[in-house]
Structure 1
Amino acid sequence: MPKGTEPAAAAVYTDVNAAGDDVDLHRLLATLIEGRWIIVAAAIASLLIASVYLGLARPVYRANALVQVERGKSAFSAEFDNVAALFGQQAPEAAGEMELLRSRMVLGRAVDSLQMTVYAEPQYFPVIGRAMARRHAGEELAPPPFGLAEFAWGGEVIEVVHFEIPQRYIGRVFTLIAGEDGRYELIDPEGSRLLHAPVGKLARVALDDEELVLQIDVLHARPGTQFTLVSRSRQAVIGELQGRVRVIERGVRSGIIEITLEDTDRQQAADVVNEIAKQYLRQNVDRKSAEAAQRLAFLDEQLPAVRRDLQAAEDALNRYRNREGSVDLEREAASLLQQIVNVDQEITKLRQEREALIRRFTPAHPSIVTVDAQIHDLQVLAERLEQRVRGLPQTQQLILRRKRDVEVGTRLYTGMLDSYQQLQVIKAGTLGDVRIVDRAVAPLGIVEPNRPRTLMVALVLGLAGGVGFVFLARMLRGGISDPELIERYLGLPVYATVLHSQIQQKLRTRMRRRSERENYVLADADPQDPAVESLRNLRTALHFATLGADSNVLMITGPMSGVGKTFITMNLASVLAMSGKRVLMIDGDMRRGCLHEYVRRPRDPGLSELLGGAQALEQVIQTTNVDQLEIIASGVIPPAPAELLLHRRFAEMLADVSRNYDHVLIDTPPVLAVADAGIIGRFTGAALLVLQAERHPLRQIEHAARRLQLAGVNLRGVVLNDLRSATTAYGYGYGYGYRYDAK
């Protein structure tokens, strides 16, 4: 090993981390280009998975309806505004109405009306059955593939109008099997047959000392087709519906409320939304009608008493006039009478209102407290007016009081009677505070899955996954591909960088399959291949590699198997021979040597026979199809290859061939796998270390170089093989092994 190699190699541990911190955009781009087919494959796979999902996923539809809450208006018509104002009717706030729409009261009525507690559905073939049935068009039943008649394949319809079971069977699955002639069988959760009944008739059967009641009005299915029948808990269905129904207000304080529901059945989505709106409107109307009925009941109680009081006041006034004669009031007394009548009328109305309120609230309620305060103020005013009355003459006082009673009674009775008649009309024609603006219709468009969005997300995820995999694989490899790093941190010159060859891959495949071909040497099959051009550059650099060497014998080795050292040996020898040099190749790997396969020559006799003394040198040298190129194969696998290499015959053989050939190239086993390379290298003039781009961490290269140095090998430089891109990221790791299991 040249001077300075060891210190340079030791510098790896101090400088390589700093170099690894630099971000090279060109190197990152090269990594992406190198892994472009992996990225494309990941994107295609992701799109295929998304397409399968879109084909199998159940479509989700969205139905909506609009409800208007009238703000600041009475629920009654304009001609009854005074009556509505008298009883304090106000339009409810939209926020409260939205909560009412989601209430168990409204949703429970919708659940009961649509019988949503009963779940009946055909049984489909796992995974693909539902999707196939969904794509079936027409009312005819789809034929069952492969004779699987127990599953539904399209066109099946079931309508259950009544399903009543004992409480302990709520939520458990019953199986219904379509039969011949419009009949069906019902199987309980334990698998026992419960009943065999016709469609359209109510069927009853005893079930655990209780009764099961079932009526099916529509059953369109092939005999033998199975259906799932479940009676779910009403509370659970309402809770599920509360989670699915979305209620929002359109605009700010617009009073327009939107009810939205998503479902896999487009018609059911519309039916449920419309039923919710209908039940909400009904409860609103019922509430207003009940309020009017309550006020009518109150007036029914009050009218007879007011009428009796009015009749008594009129009788008293008539008796006084008959006894005393006609008495006229002065202008001042007449004005005072009008004020007293107005105050008394207001007090009476407030007392009636308080009596109505006390039926709903406690005396401490703010509404009752306000009414009490108003009554107190009016009573104070009435006392003042009464004091003024006492100042009148006795006759006028009496006539004034009699007329006041009659006047107050008449106005009160007339007003209550008028209100009574208006409330009768209101009760009969109550519309409520809300109205349905737009009813839900069966939606045509699919909400989920969103095909463009799903495919776009799948494409992005596929590309991201592919990019991530490429960079992760690059990080896990931890190998280097930059010749500058090898020279900088190991002090070993890189004599050539051999590019990756697609043609060589095809040749290797043919060689493994033993396909008919004269030879599998890339330099002969395609002399213009970029990899061959790289080896021509190596041929030129060999002059400097062997400069000052003891012999023209060159060892080509690598840290581990599978790095391409045999490929380099074969094609470099071919390039040298094509330039007019006489070249000998020696397969020094007596364990797994394969150099002979490239030129379609037998493995034996070879090096093992020569070193064992069984064959002479002339008997083991074989010609090839390349002029001036000859080969010594590895021979039969010996029991101890390393011991044969230590025999003097090996050194003598190298001395002989060195005199007879211009170049002698020896392909050896991996350095880190066995000791053979170190033994062979001591008898050679120089050695080249073949590295595969992006495979070896710097520590591994340094370890291989150190082992050769300790064995006394003249390691002159490196050949970087199988370079796929101009520059790539690099890294290193410590966990490599020395298992020798490939060429």
Structure 2
Amino acid sequence: MKQQGPTFDRHEDNEIDLREVLNLIKKNYQLILIITAICLMCGFYYAHTRAPVYRSSAMIEVVNDTSSGLASKTVLSSLETSQDFSTDLEITLLKSPYILGDVAQKMGMDILVSPQRTKYFKKSKQVQNNVTIAVLNLPNLLLTKPLTLIVEHNDQYTLLTQRGEKILEGKIGQLVSTNYLSQPLQIKITKLNALPGDKFNVSKLLATDIANDLSRNLTIKQEGRNTGVLTLSYLSSTPDEAQNLLNSIIEVSVKKNSQEKAEEIANTLRFISGELPTLKNKLQENESKLNQYDYKTGVFNSTAQGQILLNSISNLQKMLDDLELKKTILLQKITSIHPLIIAINQKEDRIKNQLNELKEELKQLPVIGQKELNLKREVAFDENIYTTFLKNKQQMEIVKAGKTNGVRILSPASYPISSVPVKKVAIIVGSFVFGLMISLSIIFIRYVLSPRVEDPDMFERILGITVLGIVPCSINQMIYNKKVKQNKDSIKIPFLLAHKNSKDLSIESLRSLRTSLQISLLGIENNVISITSSSPGVGKSFISSNLATLMSDLGKKILLIDSDMRLGILYQCLGK
């Protein structure tokens, strides 16, 4: 009969056998229990030994420009498109290095100082060493790198690089400046409590890194919808640190907002003040021209049609001048390609077209009346612009004196009396689930990576060899083997599981194998069975001796040969 080659059923290989999964879990339940118990104990230990954390809270209000009294009447709100303070933008700024970087510098968190401890020192002479550095500006090459500060006599100190290169010498209380690699370096030490010869590690941390650390502990939540009221919370290991840091964050935010608004008002006021003299001179010049023309021509009243045209042109010119002024102020802050500037330019073009049409109608009037109307229109326009600028200047000065701010403190940072409660149940349950997931992952990874083939059907498909029987491991045989290792004299006592315990599951499997072998050996001249394996200690001797015993029970003559010339142990089964 021609033997069929290996066959593969990809559909069956990709299926998940639930029974096989459950058997795999049952087989490795001890490993699952051990890993889960370890994770559970770790979670229990962490939940009961976790360091206390304190939360400080504060509340601020983000005020829009249009809701600040006189500020709503300023040139910023009357000429610009309304751009309210965005709450989302303020939240982003509060959690960014723009605010938190200044907080880190204000609290001195960007300067790290630690004493260098020698390997051996006398505890009786140990003193509390500390250094207070008020100013430390380093070149970019020295940022985050440790420097060595050596205490000298007479309040002197020396600053060295990590490699021992001397940078500068200074005295306590003085600002020392020098150049290192063509870049400025400054340091000022206000307090130095140490003995001569003591050394300290000094490093300048990046403000962005500290800001990121502070941001992780800062929580901002908006109360209500579109209220502008923000609740800030900060977590820290000590209540004083939580309160001080949160107060510093609020103070820096208010200060920066106030500086921005003051600078914005100052720029606008500077622009208006610079334009007022020019507008005044232009107004006086046009008034003088009108008076001279009226005196020369003797015409002081225009026709009704001219008056109508004058009013129309005057209104359009006023709108055009207002748009021009608005565009000039906006260009101080945005570019010419901004949508607001483009919209203003389009509106100016429409107004200019209307003005051209009215001027063509005005040409039909007498030349004297037309010129008079033009002069009056120019005087009216200049007077309106001058009055508007003067009024805006007065309003801006009032706003500047009022010192309005876009961020208002509703309640300062609170002092946390008690620590934040630890969610022990959640931690313990999470550790249990984590341990269960880790243990199951390890089991399935071991199963996937294991080269062992445990499914007989897969063995037949891959190798194309028929599986005649499956013999499970016998617990009684394992007990005997263990006894033999402990007591060598037990070898002299014959032990065949087929005789000692004929109803053992392994023996029953061997009987089934015996039956399959008898069927397979039908019609074969030499009834030779070879039992081999790829590694020692897998049960060749056990199967050979007990299978031979079971075959002899059927009245057959059996010759049992141990072909392992060096490490054969088949004789032990017979008590030899």
TM-score w.r.t. length of structure 2: 0.60
SS of the residue corresponding to residue 77 of structure 1 reads: helix
1:303 is matched with which residue: 267, 276, 295? Answer: 276
Q: Give the Cα–Cα distance (whole angstroms) in 2 for the partners of residues 382 and 88 of structure 1.
A: 25
Q: Does 1:87 align with 2:60?
A: no
1:641-720 map, 5 Å: 669=490, 674=491, 676-677=493-494, 688-689=500-501, 704=542, 707=545, 710=548
Change (3 A) 1:324 1:440: same
1:373 is matched with which residue: 327, 346, 350? Answer: 346
2:287 is matched with which residue: 277, 291, 314? Answer: 314
Q: Which moved more, 1:185-194 or 1:239-248?
A: 185-194
Change (3 A) 1:691 1:213: farther
2:103 is matched with which residue: 110, 116, 124? Answer: 110
- Kindly state the Cα deviation for residue 299 of structure 1 after the two structures are TM-superposed: 1.9
Q: Give the Cα–Cα distance (whole angstroms) in 2 for the partners of residues 228 and 159 of structure 1.
A: 13
- In structure 1, the residue matched to 2:460 is none
- Kindly state the Cα deviation for residue 96 of structure 1 after the two structures are TM-superposed: 4.0
Alpha carbons 1:162, 1:216 under 8 Å: kept: no
Deviations 1:127-173 (A, max 9, x none): xxxxxxxxxxxxxxxxxxx9699799xxx987543445676554344
- Kindly state the Cα deviation for residue 80 of structure 1 after the two structures are TM-superposed: 0.9
- Kindly state the Cα deviation for residue 676 of structure 1 after the two structures are TM-superposed: 3.4
- In structure 2, the residue matched to 1:215 is 189
1:387-536 map, 5 Å: 387-392=360-365, 396-397=369-370, 399-441=372-414, 443=416, 451-458=424-431
AA at the equivalent of 2:280: R
Change (3 A) 1:417 1:691: farther
Q: Give the Cα–Cα distance (whole angstroms) in 2 for the partners of residues 272 and 696 of structure 1.
A: 77
- In structure 1, the residue matched to 2:205 is 232
Change (3 A) 1:148 1:711: farther
- Kindly state the Cα deviation for residue 325 of structure 1 after the two structures are TM-superposed: 5.9
- Kindly state the Cα deviation for residue 308 of structure 1 after the two structures are TM-superposed: 1.6
Q: Give the Cα–Cα distance (whole angstroms) in 1 for the partners of residues 486 and 88 of structure 2.
A: 89
AA at the equivalent of 2:493: D
Q: Give the Cα–Cα distance (whole angstroms) in 2 for the partners of residues 120 and 394 of structure 1.
A: 86
Deviations 1:652-690 (A, max 9, x none): xxxxxxxxxxxxxxxxx2xxxx36316xx9xxxx95349
Q: Give the Cα–Cα distance (whole angstroms) in 2 for the partners of residues 225 and 54 of structure 1.
A: 41
Change (3 A) 1:208 1:698: farther
Q: Does 1:353 align with 2:165?
A: no
Q: Give the Cα–Cα distance (whole angstroms) in 2 for the partners of residues 277 and 368 of structure 1.
A: 35
Q: Give the Cα–Cα distance (whole angstroms) in 1 for the partners of residues 227 and 374 of structure 2.
A: 54
Alpha carbons 1:74, 1:433 under 8 Å: kept: no
Alpha carbons 1:68, 1:256 under 8 Å: kept: yes
Q: Give the Cα–Cα distance (whole angstroms) in 1 for the partners of residues 569 and 60 of structure 2.
A: 78
Deviations 1:534-564 (A, max 9, x none): xxxxxxxxxxxxxxxxxxxxxxx95644778
Alpha carbons 1:564, 1:692 under 8 Å: kept: no
AA at the equivalent of 2:203: V
Q: Give the Cα–Cα distance (whole angstroms) in 1 for the partners of residues 55 and 104 of structure 2.
A: 18
Q: Give the Cα–Cα distance (whole angstroms) in 1 for the partners of residues 203 and 57 of structure 2.
A: 28
Alpha carbons 1:285, 1:431 under 8 Å: kept: yes
Alpha carbons 2:97, 2:207 under 8 Å: kept: no
- Kindly state the Cα deviation for residue 86 of structure 1 after the two structures are TM-superposed: 1.3
Alpha carbons 1:564, 1:690 under 8 Å: kept: no
Change (3 A) 1:43 1:108: closer
Of the two, which has the highest radius of gyration?
1
Deviations 1:203-257 (A, max 9, x none): 96999999774525486x9999997643224454456556766666666655455
Alpha carbons 1:123, 1:151 under 8 Å: kept: no
Change (3 A) 1:423 1:464: closer
Change (3 A) 1:30 1:224: farther
Change (3 A) 1:282 1:25: closer
- Kindly state the Cα deviation for residue 707 of structure 1 after the two structures are TM-superposed: 2.6
Q: Give the Cα–Cα distance (whole angstroms) in 2 for the partners of residues 24 and 341 of structure 1.
A: 90
Q: Give the Cα–Cα distance (whole angstroms) in 2 for the partners of residues 242 and 270 of structure 1.
A: 15
AA at the equivalent of 1:88: T
TM-score w.r.t. length of structure 1: 0.49
- Kindly state the Cα deviation for residue 713 of structure 1 after the two structures are TM-superposed: 13
AA at the equivalent of 1:87: E
- Kindly state the Cα deviation for residue 123 of structure 1 after the two structures are TM-superposed: 8.8
Alpha carbons 1:173, 1:230 under 8 Å: kept: yes
Deviations 1:683-712 (A, max 9, x none): xxx95349999x999788996586367579
Alpha carbons 1:150, 1:226 under 8 Å: kept: no
- Kindly state the Cα deviation for residue 358 of structure 1 after the two structures are TM-superposed: 4.7
Deviations 1:418-453 (A, max 9, x none): 111112222333534444445444555656975443
Change (3 A) 1:42 1:329: closer
Alpha carbons 1:74, 1:84 under 8 Å: kept: no
SS of the residue corresponding to residue 677 of structure 1 reads: coil
Q: Give the Cα–Cα distance (whole angstroms) in 1 for the partners of residues 471 and 344 of structure 2.
A: 101
1:3-152 map, 5 Å: 49-50=42-43, 53=46, 59-61=52-54, 66-70=59-63, 73=66, 77=70, 80=73, 84-120=77-113
AA at the equivalent of 2:205: R
Higher relative contact order (CA 8 A, sep 6+): 2
SS of the residue corresponding to residue 84 of structure 2 reads: coil
Question: How many aligned positions are there?
Answer: 489
Q: Give the Cα–Cα distance (whole angstroms) in 2 for the partners of residues 590 and 301 of structure 1.
A: 107
Alpha carbons 1:559, 1:691 under 8 Å: kept: no
- Kindly state the Cα deviation for residue 346 of structure 1 after the two structures are TM-superposed: 2.2
- In structure 2, the residue matched to 1:339 is 312
SS of the residue corresponding to residue 341 of structure 2 reads: helix
Alpha carbons 1:100, 1:106 under 8 Å: kept: yes
